[in-house]
Amino acid sequence: MLVITSIARAQDEYVRVVIDDPFIELHSGPGRGYPVFYIGERGEEVEVLKRRTEWFQIRVERDVEGWVHLEQLQRTFDLEGEAFDIPGLALGDYRDRRWEVGTLYGDFGGANVISAYGAFALTENLSLELGLAQVLGRFSDSQMYSINVMHLMFPEKRWSPFFTLGTGSINTKPKATLVDTLDRRDSFALAGFGVRTYLTRRFVFRTEYKTYVTFTSRDDNEEIREWKAGFSFFF
């Protein structure tokens, strides 16, 4: 259990806590995969410096800084004995995100497309994305695999335009039944833009438009346009 007070330090207002449980574990990073490198003991004063989703960076009396999980700060009380209310996730947590997964639905050259992606934030502005999509057409179905870089213009704002460049491959399977047809695999390059909107807690709405240039084995390449919209979840 922790007891909470407030102080001002270096023109930043931190939350100061006094450890009342036997100990707390400090991780070297904001995740359970990071090792525990320090144990804060009962009676030590702790400053809560910042938050990254469900992890909090703290500083103990010996100027050791580390990360603790939300669970270690939830059962806390202020000096008047009232429960300490930890604020919910907000826009700042979205800006500090590292991982994101999402699903989108839309149109790919006149066919329905359902896609899923996972992303890792390299910086506040740049993310690396891996995508998988299923295209359901009238005469053929396709599967697409892509990797692209997304540049977010204003990561500190609730909504922001973004631009993306990438590459990948598409495997097309015709639906013809009267004659044998061969599946076709082609590579492609893509460019696009869109808008992302932070909704609440961990959720983001995303809409985008992309142009694909497919490099076929024939003499001419194909240009396909796509639009999609969907939701993502960050952590």
Can you read off the two tokens belonging to residue 111? 């066919």
Mean pLDDT of 59-70: 86
Can you read off the two tokens belonging to residue 235? 């952590």
Dump pLDDT digits (tens) for 21-54. 778 888 998 888 899 998 887 777 788 888 777 7
Q: Which CATH number fits domain 95-234: 3.40.50.1220, 2.40.160.20, 1.20.58.220, 1.10.3720.10?
A: 2.40.160.20
What percent of the chain shows pLDDT beyond 70?
A: 81
The SS3 assignment for 157 reads coil
Dump pLDDT digits (tens) for 182-225. 668 889 999 999 999 988 778 999 999 999 999 877 667 889 99
Is the pLDDT higher at 222 or at 176? 222
State the chain's mean pLDDT as an integer: 82
Q: How far is CA 163 from CA 105, 113, 134, 194, in A?
A: 19, 20, 22, 7
Report domain extents, the chain.
2-87, 95-234
- Asked if the domains at 2-87 and 95-234 fall in one CATH topology, the answer is no
CATH level 2 (architecture), domain 2-87 = Roll (2.30)
The SS3 assignment for 120 reads strand
Find how far residue 184's CA is from the centre of its chain.
33
Q: Is the pLDDT of residue 58 over 80?
A: yes
Instruction: Say how far apart CA 208 and CA 212 lie, in whole Å.
Output: 13
Instruction: Say how far apart CA 65 and CA 18 lie, in whole Å.
Output: 15
What percent of the chain shows pLDDT beyond 90?
A: 42
The SS3 assignment for 94 reads helix
Q: Closest Cα partner for 218 from 179, 171, 186?
A: 186
